[in-house]
Structure 1
Amino acid sequence: MTQAKNDNSHVQRFTSSRKLTFLYLLLGLAMTGLSLWALAASYSERPVDWVLVALGASGTLLFGAATLEFARRFRTPNHAFIELRPEGIYDPRVAARTIPWEAVTGVSIWSARGRSFVVVNIDSAIEETLDLTKTARLSRGPNRLLGIDGLILNPVGLPVKAHTLQDLIVERLEEFYKEPSRQSAL
Protein backbone atom coordinates (compact mmCIF):
# COMPACT_ATOMS: atom_id res chain seq x y z
CA MET A 1 0.00 0.00 0.00
CA THR A 2 1.32 3.41 -0.90
CA GLN A 3 -0.05 5.98 1.45
CA ALA A 4 1.02 9.58 1.39
CA LYS A 5 0.28 12.29 3.92
CA ASN A 6 -3.32 13.41 3.79
CA ASP A 7 -3.26 16.35 1.45
CA ASN A 8 -4.80 16.46 -1.95
CA SER A 9 -1.50 16.83 -3.80
CA HIS A 10 -0.59 13.16 -3.36
CA VAL A 11 -2.02 9.91 -4.63
CA GLN A 12 -3.01 7.24 -2.12
CA ARG A 13 -3.04 3.83 -3.81
CA PHE A 14 -4.38 0.63 -2.31
CA THR A 15 -3.30 -2.42 -4.32
CA SER A 16 -4.27 -6.09 -4.08
CA SER A 17 -1.71 -8.61 -2.88
CA ARG A 18 -0.06 -10.81 -5.52
CA LYS A 19 0.50 -13.52 -2.89
CA LEU A 20 -3.21 -13.61 -2.09
CA THR A 21 -4.09 -13.68 -5.79
CA PHE A 22 -1.69 -16.60 -6.29
CA LEU A 23 -3.24 -18.42 -3.33
CA TYR A 24 -6.71 -17.96 -4.85
CA LEU A 25 -5.36 -19.20 -8.19
CA LEU A 26 -4.06 -22.39 -6.55
CA LEU A 27 -7.31 -22.86 -4.65
CA GLY A 28 -9.27 -22.39 -7.88
CA LEU A 29 -7.13 -25.01 -9.64
CA ALA A 30 -7.70 -27.46 -6.79
CA MET A 31 -11.47 -26.89 -6.74
CA THR A 32 -11.71 -27.14 -10.54
CA GLY A 33 -9.77 -30.41 -10.41
CA LEU A 34 -12.03 -31.74 -7.65
CA SER A 35 -15.12 -30.79 -9.67
CA LEU A 36 -13.74 -32.51 -12.78
CA TRP A 37 -12.99 -35.60 -10.69
CA ALA A 38 -16.59 -35.60 -9.37
CA LEU A 39 -17.89 -35.26 -12.92
CA ALA A 40 -15.74 -38.15 -14.18
CA ALA A 41 -16.60 -40.32 -11.17
CA SER A 42 -20.32 -39.78 -11.70
CA TYR A 43 -20.15 -41.41 -15.14
CA SER A 44 -18.21 -44.43 -13.87
CA GLU A 45 -21.15 -45.48 -11.68
CA ARG A 46 -24.14 -47.41 -12.97
CA PRO A 47 -26.74 -46.00 -12.83
CA VAL A 48 -25.36 -42.51 -13.39
CA ASP A 49 -25.62 -40.32 -10.29
CA TRP A 50 -27.21 -37.16 -11.74
CA VAL A 51 -26.69 -35.17 -8.54
CA LEU A 52 -22.95 -35.81 -8.82
CA VAL A 53 -23.09 -34.88 -12.53
CA ALA A 54 -24.81 -31.58 -11.68
CA LEU A 55 -22.36 -30.80 -8.87
CA GLY A 56 -19.35 -31.71 -11.00
CA ALA A 57 -20.50 -29.74 -14.04
CA SER A 58 -21.55 -26.64 -12.12
CA GLY A 59 -18.39 -26.77 -9.99
CA THR A 60 -16.21 -27.11 -13.07
CA LEU A 61 -17.87 -24.11 -14.72
CA LEU A 62 -17.88 -21.94 -11.59
CA PHE A 63 -14.41 -22.74 -10.31
CA GLY A 64 -12.98 -22.85 -13.84
CA ALA A 65 -14.24 -19.32 -14.52
CA ALA A 66 -12.92 -18.10 -11.16
CA THR A 67 -9.55 -19.74 -11.85
CA LEU A 68 -9.32 -18.04 -15.24
CA GLU A 69 -10.14 -14.69 -13.62
CA PHE A 70 -7.45 -15.15 -10.95
CA ALA A 71 -4.95 -16.24 -13.63
CA ARG A 72 -5.73 -13.03 -15.53
CA ARG A 73 -5.35 -10.96 -12.36
CA PHE A 74 -2.07 -12.67 -11.51
CA ARG A 75 -0.67 -11.96 -14.99
CA THR A 76 -1.69 -8.29 -14.72
CA PRO A 77 0.17 -6.77 -11.78
CA ASN A 78 -1.82 -4.42 -9.58
CA HIS A 79 -5.11 -5.38 -11.25
CA ALA A 80 -7.35 -4.50 -8.32
CA PHE A 81 -6.69 -1.13 -6.81
CA ILE A 82 -8.28 2.07 -5.63
CA GLU A 83 -6.55 5.43 -5.91
CA LEU A 84 -7.42 8.63 -4.11
CA ARG A 85 -6.03 11.25 -6.49
CA PRO A 86 -5.89 15.04 -6.28
CA GLU A 87 -8.72 15.20 -8.83
CA GLY A 88 -10.88 12.40 -7.36
CA ILE A 89 -11.37 8.67 -6.79
CA TYR A 90 -10.15 6.13 -9.34
CA ASP A 91 -11.20 2.47 -9.32
CA PRO A 92 -10.90 0.79 -12.73
CA ARG A 93 -13.35 -1.89 -11.57
CA VAL A 94 -16.04 0.83 -11.38
CA ALA A 95 -15.25 3.44 -14.04
CA ALA A 96 -12.72 4.13 -16.77
CA ARG A 97 -12.38 7.72 -15.57
CA THR A 98 -11.64 9.32 -12.24
CA ILE A 99 -14.72 10.22 -10.18
CA PRO A 100 -14.15 13.96 -9.58
CA TRP A 101 -14.36 15.23 -6.00
CA GLU A 102 -16.93 17.86 -6.99
CA ALA A 103 -19.26 15.07 -8.22
CA VAL A 104 -19.27 13.28 -4.84
CA THR A 105 -22.45 14.13 -2.93
CA GLY A 106 -22.09 11.58 -0.14
CA VAL A 107 -20.09 8.65 1.20
CA SER A 108 -21.50 5.82 3.29
CA ILE A 109 -20.93 2.21 4.30
CA TRP A 110 -23.13 -0.67 3.23
CA SER A 111 -22.71 -4.10 4.83
CA ALA A 112 -24.00 -7.49 3.77
CA ARG A 113 -23.06 -10.97 4.96
CA GLY A 114 -20.15 -9.73 7.03
CA ARG A 115 -18.59 -7.65 4.25
CA SER A 116 -18.56 -3.88 4.14
CA PHE A 117 -18.43 -1.70 1.05
CA VAL A 118 -18.03 2.03 0.51
CA VAL A 119 -20.92 3.64 -1.35
CA VAL A 120 -20.03 6.87 -3.14
CA ASN A 121 -23.06 8.94 -4.12
CA ILE A 122 -22.36 11.10 -7.15
CA ASP A 123 -24.13 13.69 -9.24
CA SER A 124 -26.14 11.82 -11.90
CA ALA A 125 -25.13 14.27 -14.64
CA ILE A 126 -21.45 13.53 -14.04
CA GLU A 127 -22.08 9.79 -13.63
CA GLU A 128 -23.06 9.60 -17.30
CA THR A 129 -19.62 10.91 -18.34
CA LEU A 130 -17.56 8.42 -16.29
CA ASP A 131 -17.65 5.43 -18.66
CA LEU A 132 -18.83 3.02 -15.97
CA THR A 133 -17.74 -0.58 -16.38
CA LYS A 134 -20.34 -3.06 -17.57
CA THR A 135 -20.56 -4.56 -14.07
CA ALA A 136 -21.10 -1.16 -12.45
CA ARG A 137 -23.77 -0.21 -15.02
CA LEU A 138 -25.66 -3.49 -14.75
CA SER A 139 -25.58 -3.53 -10.95
CA ARG A 140 -26.97 0.02 -10.51
CA GLY A 141 -30.64 -1.04 -10.86
CA PRO A 142 -30.51 -4.04 -8.50
CA ASN A 143 -28.44 -2.02 -6.02
CA ARG A 144 -31.09 0.72 -5.99
CA LEU A 145 -33.68 -1.93 -5.12
CA LEU A 146 -31.52 -2.80 -2.10
CA GLY A 147 -31.36 0.87 -1.11
CA ILE A 148 -27.84 1.49 -2.41
CA ASP A 149 -27.93 4.58 -4.59
CA GLY A 150 -24.31 5.13 -5.48
CA LEU A 151 -21.19 3.54 -6.89
CA ILE A 152 -19.75 0.73 -4.78
CA LEU A 153 -16.04 0.67 -3.96
CA ASN A 154 -15.13 -2.84 -2.86
CA PRO A 155 -12.06 -2.96 -0.60
CA VAL A 156 -12.14 -6.77 -0.32
CA GLY A 157 -8.67 -8.07 -1.17
CA LEU A 158 -7.09 -4.65 -0.67
CA PRO A 159 -5.00 -3.66 2.37
CA VAL A 160 -7.63 -1.20 3.62
CA LYS A 161 -10.90 -1.70 5.50
CA ALA A 162 -14.14 -0.11 4.27
CA HIS A 163 -14.46 2.23 7.27
CA THR A 164 -10.85 3.41 6.87
CA LEU A 165 -11.39 4.01 3.15
CA GLN A 166 -14.57 5.96 3.92
CA ASP A 167 -12.68 8.12 6.45
CA LEU A 168 -9.90 8.79 3.93
CA ILE A 169 -12.40 9.77 1.24
CA VAL A 170 -14.18 12.14 3.63
CA GLU A 171 -10.82 13.69 4.62
CA ARG A 172 -9.87 14.16 0.97
CA LEU A 173 -13.28 15.72 0.24
CA GLU A 174 -12.83 18.15 3.12
CA GLU A 175 -9.34 19.03 1.89
CA PHE A 176 -10.67 19.50 -1.64
CA TYR A 177 -13.31 21.99 -0.49
CA LYS A 178 -10.83 23.82 1.79
CA GLU A 179 -8.74 24.87 -1.20
CA PRO A 180 -9.06 28.65 -1.75
CA SER A 181 -10.30 28.21 -5.32
CA ARG A 182 -13.17 26.04 -4.00
CA GLN A 183 -14.27 28.32 -1.13
CA SER A 184 -16.84 30.09 -3.30
CA ALA A 185 -18.32 26.71 -4.31
CA LEU A 186 -19.50 26.01 -0.76
Structure 2
Amino acid sequence: MKKTAQLILLSLILSSIFLTACNSRTNEENTSSEENLTIYQSSKQGVTADESNNGNSQDSTLDNEESDAMENIRIKLTFNNEEVIVKMDDNPTSKDFLSLLPLTLTFEDYAGTEKISYPANKLSTEEAPSGIDPTVGDFTYYAPWGNLAIFYKDFGYSNGLIKLGEIESGVETFQDINSDFTVTIEKVD
Protein backbone atom coordinates (compact mmCIF):
# COMPACT_ATOMS: atom_id res chain seq x y z
CA MET A 1 0.00 0.00 0.00
CA LYS A 2 2.84 2.34 0.87
CA LYS A 3 4.48 1.71 -2.55
CA THR A 4 1.18 2.47 -4.31
CA ALA A 5 0.86 5.76 -2.46
CA GLN A 6 4.46 6.64 -3.35
CA LEU A 7 3.84 5.80 -7.02
CA ILE A 8 0.71 7.93 -7.07
CA LEU A 9 2.54 10.81 -5.40
CA LEU A 10 5.45 10.47 -7.85
CA SER A 11 3.00 10.41 -10.79
CA LEU A 12 1.31 13.57 -9.51
CA ILE A 13 4.64 15.35 -9.11
CA LEU A 14 5.80 14.36 -12.61
CA SER A 15 2.44 15.35 -14.12
CA SER A 16 2.63 18.68 -12.35
CA ILE A 17 6.14 19.32 -13.67
CA PHE A 18 5.09 18.30 -17.19
CA LEU A 19 2.02 20.55 -17.16
CA THR A 20 4.04 23.46 -15.83
CA ALA A 21 6.59 22.98 -18.60
CA CYS A 22 3.85 22.76 -21.25
CA ASN A 23 2.16 25.89 -19.92
CA SER A 24 5.47 27.74 -19.96
CA ARG A 25 6.06 26.66 -23.58
CA THR A 26 2.53 27.79 -24.58
CA ASN A 27 3.11 31.18 -22.96
CA GLU A 28 6.41 31.54 -24.85
CA GLU A 29 4.68 30.62 -28.14
CA ASN A 30 1.84 33.08 -27.47
CA THR A 31 4.32 35.83 -26.66
CA SER A 32 6.32 35.01 -29.79
CA SER A 33 3.13 35.03 -31.92
CA GLU A 34 2.07 38.36 -30.45
CA GLU A 35 5.54 39.82 -31.14
CA ASN A 36 5.46 38.52 -34.72
CA LEU A 37 1.98 39.99 -35.24
CA THR A 38 3.15 43.35 -33.90
CA ILE A 39 6.19 43.28 -36.18
CA TYR A 40 4.02 42.28 -39.16
CA GLN A 41 1.44 45.00 -38.44
CA SER A 42 4.21 47.58 -38.04
CA SER A 43 5.77 46.56 -41.35
CA LYS A 44 2.38 46.86 -43.12
CA GLN A 45 1.90 50.40 -41.77
CA GLY A 46 4.96 51.73 -43.58
CA VAL A 47 7.78 53.76 -42.10
CA THR A 48 8.19 53.86 -38.34
CA ALA A 49 9.56 56.86 -36.47
CA ASP A 50 12.95 55.14 -36.12
CA GLU A 51 13.13 54.44 -39.86
CA SER A 52 12.27 58.02 -40.80
CA ASN A 53 14.93 59.30 -38.43
CA ASN A 54 17.48 56.93 -39.97
CA GLY A 55 16.74 58.06 -43.51
CA ASN A 56 15.22 54.76 -44.68
CA SER A 57 12.22 56.42 -46.30
CA GLN A 58 13.40 55.17 -49.71
CA ASP A 59 12.59 51.60 -48.65
CA SER A 60 9.07 52.70 -47.73
CA THR A 61 8.66 54.39 -51.11
CA LEU A 62 9.66 51.16 -52.86
CA ASP A 63 7.18 49.17 -50.75
CA ASN A 64 4.39 51.63 -51.62
CA GLU A 65 5.23 51.43 -55.33
CA GLU A 66 5.11 47.63 -55.20
CA SER A 67 1.74 47.75 -53.38
CA ASP A 68 0.37 50.21 -55.94
CA ALA A 69 1.52 47.88 -58.71
CA MET A 70 -0.27 44.89 -57.11
CA GLU A 71 -3.51 46.89 -56.82
CA ASN A 72 -3.73 46.98 -60.59
CA ILE A 73 -2.81 43.39 -61.43
CA ARG A 74 -5.48 41.35 -63.10
CA ILE A 75 -5.51 37.90 -64.60
CA LYS A 76 -7.71 36.47 -67.31
CA LEU A 77 -9.27 33.01 -67.16
CA THR A 78 -10.18 31.80 -70.65
CA PHE A 79 -12.41 28.73 -71.14
CA ASN A 80 -15.35 27.57 -73.29
CA ASN A 81 -15.22 30.80 -75.36
CA GLU A 82 -15.57 32.83 -72.15
CA GLU A 83 -13.24 35.25 -70.39
CA VAL A 84 -13.31 35.95 -66.66
CA ILE A 85 -11.24 38.76 -65.14
CA VAL A 86 -9.82 38.43 -61.63
CA LYS A 87 -8.38 41.37 -59.66
CA MET A 88 -5.48 39.96 -57.65
CA ASP A 89 -4.89 40.67 -53.95
CA ASP A 90 -1.55 41.89 -52.63
CA ASN A 91 -0.14 38.99 -50.60
CA PRO A 92 2.80 36.57 -50.90
CA THR A 93 0.58 33.69 -52.04
CA SER A 94 -0.88 35.78 -54.89
CA LYS A 95 2.60 36.90 -55.92
CA ASP A 96 3.80 33.29 -55.93
CA PHE A 97 0.82 32.29 -58.09
CA LEU A 98 1.50 35.13 -60.54
CA SER A 99 5.07 33.87 -60.97
CA LEU A 100 3.67 30.61 -62.41
CA LEU A 101 1.69 32.29 -65.20
CA PRO A 102 0.76 31.56 -67.90
CA LEU A 103 -0.88 28.27 -66.92
CA THR A 104 -3.35 25.87 -68.47
CA LEU A 105 -5.25 23.81 -65.90
CA THR A 106 -8.25 21.51 -65.79
CA PHE A 107 -10.93 22.51 -63.32
CA GLU A 108 -13.67 20.31 -61.86
CA ASP A 109 -16.68 20.93 -59.68
CA TYR A 110 -16.38 20.41 -55.94
CA ALA A 111 -19.41 20.17 -53.64
CA GLY A 112 -21.64 22.21 -55.95
CA THR A 113 -19.96 25.32 -54.56
CA GLU A 114 -16.58 25.78 -56.18
CA LYS A 115 -14.45 24.83 -59.15
CA ILE A 116 -11.05 23.43 -58.22
CA SER A 117 -7.75 22.60 -59.92
CA TYR A 118 -4.32 21.45 -58.80
CA PRO A 119 -1.34 23.45 -60.08
CA ALA A 120 1.92 21.47 -60.34
CA ASN A 121 3.61 23.52 -57.59
CA LYS A 122 2.35 24.32 -54.10
CA LEU A 123 2.17 28.03 -53.35
CA SER A 124 3.77 30.02 -50.55
CA THR A 125 1.66 30.41 -47.41
CA GLU A 126 3.93 33.08 -45.93
CA GLU A 127 1.98 35.72 -43.98
CA ALA A 128 -1.26 33.88 -44.80
CA PRO A 129 -4.22 34.05 -42.43
CA SER A 130 -5.31 30.82 -40.75
CA GLY A 131 -8.34 30.78 -43.05
CA ILE A 132 -11.12 32.85 -44.59
CA ASP A 133 -14.88 32.86 -45.11
CA PRO A 134 -15.10 32.88 -48.91
CA THR A 135 -17.88 34.61 -50.83
CA VAL A 136 -19.14 34.27 -54.39
CA GLY A 137 -16.40 35.29 -56.82
CA ASP A 138 -13.41 34.62 -54.57
CA PHE A 139 -10.38 33.16 -56.34
CA THR A 140 -8.53 31.21 -53.64
CA TYR A 141 -5.84 28.69 -52.76
CA TYR A 142 -6.55 25.84 -50.35
CA ALA A 143 -3.13 25.18 -48.80
CA PRO A 144 -3.81 21.78 -47.16
CA TRP A 145 -4.63 20.18 -50.52
CA GLY A 146 -2.61 22.53 -52.76
CA ASN A 147 -5.55 23.42 -55.00
CA LEU A 148 -7.00 26.57 -56.51
CA ALA A 149 -10.69 27.14 -55.79
CA ILE A 150 -13.12 29.51 -57.51
CA PHE A 151 -16.26 30.00 -55.42
CA TYR A 152 -19.51 30.43 -57.35
CA LYS A 153 -21.66 29.92 -54.22
CA ASP A 154 -21.21 31.13 -50.65
CA PHE A 155 -19.39 28.84 -48.28
CA GLY A 156 -18.47 28.90 -44.59
CA TYR A 157 -15.15 29.64 -42.94
CA SER A 158 -12.36 27.31 -44.06
CA ASN A 159 -9.03 26.77 -42.30
CA GLY A 160 -6.12 26.89 -44.74
CA LEU A 161 -8.01 28.87 -47.39
CA ILE A 162 -6.14 31.90 -48.76
CA LYS A 163 -7.74 34.55 -50.95
CA LEU A 164 -5.74 35.28 -54.11
CA GLY A 165 -8.17 37.68 -55.72
CA GLU A 166 -11.75 38.41 -56.66
CA ILE A 167 -13.63 37.90 -59.91
CA GLU A 168 -14.67 41.25 -61.36
CA SER A 169 -16.97 39.87 -64.02
CA GLY A 170 -18.25 36.51 -65.23
CA VAL A 171 -18.61 34.49 -62.00
CA GLU A 172 -22.02 33.28 -63.16
CA THR A 173 -20.40 31.33 -66.00
CA PHE A 174 -19.05 28.76 -63.52
CA GLN A 175 -22.48 27.69 -62.21
CA ASP A 176 -23.61 26.16 -65.51
CA ILE A 177 -20.49 24.06 -66.19
CA ASN A 178 -21.22 20.47 -65.17
CA SER A 179 -18.10 18.70 -66.43
CA ASP A 180 -14.34 19.21 -66.23
CA PHE A 181 -13.07 22.12 -68.31
CA THR A 182 -9.70 23.51 -69.35
CA VAL A 183 -8.76 27.05 -68.36
CA THR A 184 -5.89 29.17 -69.62
CA ILE A 185 -4.75 31.65 -66.97
CA GLU A 186 -2.59 34.64 -67.90
CA LYS A 187 -1.81 38.15 -66.73
CA VAL A 188 -3.74 41.01 -68.32
CA ASP A 189 -1.50 43.82 -69.55
What TM-score, normalized by structure 1, do the two folds share?
A: 0.31
Larger strand share, 1 or 2: 2
Larger-Rg structure? 2
Larger helix share, 1 or 2: 1
